[in-house]
Amino acid sequence: MTPCTLPLLPEDATWADLEAVAIQRAAALVQCETARALAVETLTAERALQDRWRAEQPK
């Protein structure tokens, strides 16, 4: 999983820059959290499949 990157303010930021970066950061955080949740869901499903397979194997 690649790390999330958040937009940064330029050195000579204006009020408009601040507003724009705030919106961009919010969108980036939503995207990052969505990717994280999907990764957790996928891992949980994979482990459940492995557990089910192990339970079905003869002992």
Overall average pLDDT of the 38-56 stretch: 97
Instruction: Specify whether the CB–CB gap between 9 and 21 falls below 8 A.
Output: yes
Quote the CA–CA distance of 20 and 16 in Å, as a whole number.
Answer: 6
Overall average pLDDT of the 48-52 stretch: 97
Q: Is residue 11 one of the residues assigned to a domain?
A: no
Q: Is residue 7 one of the residues assigned to a domain?
A: no
Q: Is residue 49 one of the residues assigned to a domain?
A: yes
Predicted pLDDT of residue 20:
97
Structural domain for 53, as ranges: 25-59
Tell me: the pLDDT tens digits for 2-45?
788 999 999 999 999 999 999 999 999 999 999 999 999 999 99
Predicted pLDDT of residue 59:
80
Q: How many domains would you assign to the chain?
A: 1
Predicted pLDDT of residue 1:
65
Helix (H) or strand (E) holding 24: helix 15-56
Q: Is residue 19 one of the residues assigned to a domain?
A: no
